[in-house]
Amino acid sequence: MNAINREQVRALVVEVVTGIAPEIDLAKIAPDRPLRAQIDIDSFDFLNVIICLSERLKMEIPEADYGELATLDGMLDYLAKKSAGAG
């Protein structure tokens, strides 16, 4: 698997989140605060986002790691790091 850079991950996250919640404008989100505190998505939307990212990036995202994905920055850091680290 090729590592993808942070910008590509960001573009993917925007695509996936707005696919599930099209009314959201991620440009208005503070990247370092929990996503769910800023926008109206429920636990299942969030879960669907993670599953979709997992499929698109062909990487496993275990439940124990979900806490790292709470903020946009956290998501980008986690996904970019994992994508680089995976063999």
Contact set with another protein (CB under 8 A): 18-24, 36-37, 40-45, 47-48, 51-52, 54-55, 63-64, 66-67
DSSP string, 6-70: HHHHHHHHHHHHHHH-TT--GGGS-TTSBHHHHS---HHHHHHHHHHHHHHHT----GGGGGGGS
Tell me the closest approach of the beta carbon of residue 27 to another protein, in angstroms.
Answer: 15
Q: Which is nearer to another protein, 66 or 73 (CB)?
A: 66
Q: Which is nearer to another protein, 3 or 33 (CB)?
A: 33
* DSSP SS3 for 87: coil
Tell me the closest approach of the beta carbon of residue 33 to another protein, in angstroms.
Answer: 11
